[in-house]
A and B are shown apart, each in its own frame.
Chain A
Amino acid sequence: MKVGIASTGLTKFSKDDISIESLMVSSIKPVFENASNLEQKDIDVVLTSTNANDKYLANIVSELSGISPKVAHSVESLCNSGTNCLVSAYAYISSGLAKTALVVGAEKTDSPGLVLEWDKSRGQYKHPIYWSSIFTQAYMRKYGTTMEDLAYVSAKNHRNALDNPNAYFNRTYSVEEIMQSKFLTENIRLLDCSMPCNGAAAILLASEEVISRFTDKPIWITGIGQKATSAGFTKNNDLSSMQSTISSVVDAYDMSKKQPSDIDVAELHDAFSICEMIELEDLGLVDRGKSMSYVKQLYDTSDRKINPRGGLIGSGHPLGATGVAQTIEIFNQLQGDAGKRQINGAKTGMVHNMSAAGTSSTVLILES
């Protein structure tokens, strides 16, 4: 059974202090406004995606939204909670257990999901800047990448975010400014990092059977790949690549019968500048070692194909909302409703969302 996206809702990403349930409800409101004929009773499943410690959030948010779903629960997988939640919702519908499912992702700046305390193998270096610094060093060693090459990722994504009204950042940074921003490690600058923030994103999925009641422009999820290699960073053997991403993209291409050349637009999990470079190659979108020249070319030609909404670096990174927000961008692109960010004629899009140093990845392929 085909499963599609019927409607979406997004809040502004900010540091405004607002409760997690208020954030969630704020993103559900536009889901109803953007769908034709959607009523609370139409929603079979409500899944919340967050790393917040709050309990029973799916039920709380359902009650606050006047929904009494058959199924309500949370999905947590650190930074790829959002796409894990979408895949769970997809499975409820494709199995026939539900006809519709509302996915709501949200996070606050002080999320307990920012650092994986369990990972003893990271010793005292548990903060994400350390794994990203190790990835960066390994990649630089292999391909001769420079700090300037890395800065192009951030410059491009901040510039793309300028046309995203929901982005946390709303200014451009030059390559020089990025290279001169605060040194966090030898090879990580502050502006190479995504910024934790508050934000929420919601998506209504529906079966092929009922989706036309809510939209006349459904976007279909045609490919899904997920892989959890491990929880600990030190199990990813090749430090210039993410095993879980390589594995999940193969499954996503197989399921959708697509190949890299079919992808018109993609949202990649650029938690740090190095991540976008590695992922471009792991996803097969660019040959090994060619990300540097590719990213520079995207920047020089103002091509928005990769991370048109600004990625995590430009938009901000409210963990549980990120994967949902990435998927909303591809939904908008494939509907032709991405405004100034629109990639003309985009028919097939990709979402890549990963967590904890690339130990887990999700890849979605969407089609109009």
Chain B
Amino acid sequence: MNKFEQELKNNNFVCSRCTRCNKIVWPPSDLCNKCFGDVVWKPVSRKARLIEFSRKNGEYFCMAEFDEGIRVMGTVESASIVHVGQPLTLTRCSYDDTEKFVFSTDEGK
């Protein structure tokens, strides 16, 4: 398991940031994809926005975009109907053979 996967397993979503040009490199990599500078691990904010969604067996899955412009696919846990553009919070992330991202809707907060 690499550092990214280990952090994810500990419920920390981290990404690489270039030490030379500050670009966020997603998916994570050892070198910046703009200037090939070295990178450091940077926590990603838990705040995201719903880009698109669908359902399988009644469970929502979505594409979400974090403030840093990072997009991932994950699960949405929501008691009500979700809609595109609504704010999401990354409530859990983990790694078990594959990356897992679980979001909740921000209603009532």
Q: Which A residues lie at the B interface, using CB under 8 A?
A: 118-126, 130, 133-134, 136-138, 141, 184-187, 232-235, 239
Residues of B1-22 contacting chain A, CB below 8 A: 4
Chain B residues closer than 8 Å to A130, beta-carbon distance = 54, 56, 61, 73
Chain A residues closer than 8 Å to B37, beta-carbon distance = none
CB distance A133 to B27 under 8 Å?
A: no
Residue among A137, A232, A234 with most chain B CB within 10 A: A234
Choose among B4, B28, B63 the residue that contacts A239 (Cβ–Cβ < 8 A): B63
Q: Cα distance A184–B61 when bound, in Å?
A: 13
Chain B: which residue is nearest A122 at the CB level?
B73
Residues of B27-73 contacting chain A, CB below 8 A: 27-28, 51-56, 61, 63, 70-73
CB distance A232 to B27 under 8 Å?
A: yes
Chain B: which residue is nearest A141 at the CB level?
B84
Q: Cα distance A121–B98 when bound, in Å?
A: 10
Q: Cα distance A123–B103 when bound, in Å?
A: 12
Given A130-B54, A186-B55, A239-B63, 16 extra CB contacts under 8 A: A118-B27, A120-B4, A120-B27, A121-B27, A123-B98, A123-B100, A124-B74, A124-B99, A125-B61, A126-B98, A134-B73, A137-B52, A138-B52, A184-B56, A187-B54, A239-B52
Q: Cα distance A134–B27 when bound, in Å?
A: 20
Choose among B4, B26, B27, B73 the residue that contacts A125 (Cβ–Cβ < 8 A): B73
Residue among A121, A138, A233 with most chain B CB within 10 A: A121
CB distance A185 to B84 under 8 Å?
A: no
- Identify whether the interface residues of B are mostly helix, strand, loop, or mixed: strand
Closest chain B CB from A282 CB (angstroms): 18
Number of A-B contacts (CB under 8 A): 70
CB distance A185 to B55 under 8 Å?
A: yes
Q: Cα distance A121–B24 when bound, in Å?
A: 14
CB distance A185 to B26 under 8 Å?
A: no
Q: Cα distance A119–B51 when bound, in Å?
A: 18
A137-B54 contact in complex given A121-B72, A130-B61, A234-B72, C-beta closer than 8 Å: yes
Q: Cα distance A119–B28 when bound, in Å?
A: 11
Closest chain B CB from A124 CB (angstroms): 5
CB distance B56 to A134 under 8 Å?
A: no
CB distance A133 to B71 under 8 Å?
A: no
Chain A residues closer than 8 Å to B98, beta-carbon distance = 123-124, 126
CB distance B54 to A185 under 8 Å?
A: yes
Q: Cα distance A233–B74 when bound, in Å?
A: 13
CB distance A123 to B74 under 8 Å?
A: yes
Choose among B4, B27, B100 the residue that contacts A124 (Cβ–Cβ < 8 A): B100
Chain A: which residue is nearest B100 at the CB level?
A124
Chain B residues closer than 8 Å to A232, beta-carbon distance = 27
Q: Cα distance A126–B52 when bound, in Å?
A: 16
Closest chain B CB from A39 CB (angstroms): 48
Chain A: which residue is nearest B60 at the CB level?
A186
A137-B101 contact in complex given A234-B72, A234-B73, C-beta closer than 8 Å: no
Choose among B63, B75, B100 the residue that contacts A134 (Cβ–Cβ < 8 A): B63
Q: Cα distance A233–B61 when bound, in Å?
A: 15
Chain B: which residue is nearest A234 at the CB level?
B71
Residue among A134, A141, A233 with most chain B CB within 10 A: A134
Closest chain B CB from A236 CB (angstroms): 10
Chain B residues closer than 8 Å to A184, beta-carbon distance = 56
Interface pairs A-B: 5 shortest CB-CB: A234-B71, A133-B54, A186-B55, A120-B27, A125-B73
Q: Cα distance A123–B99 when bound, in Å?
A: 5
Chain A residues closer than 8 Å to B75, beta-carbon distance = 124
Chain A: which residue is nearest B62 at the CB level?
A134
CB distance A185 to B56 under 8 Å?
A: yes
Residue among B51, B56, B73 with most chain A CB within 10 A: B73
Q: Cα distance A130–B55 when bound, in Å?
A: 9
Q: Please, could you name 22 A-B residue pairs with CB atoms under 8 Å apart, sorted by A?
A: A118-B27, A119-B27, A120-B28, A120-B99, A121-B70, A121-B71, A121-B73, A123-B74, A124-B75, A124-B101, A126-B98, A130-B61, A134-B53, A136-B54, A137-B54, A138-B52, A185-B54, A185-B56, A186-B55, A233-B73, A234-B71, A239-B63
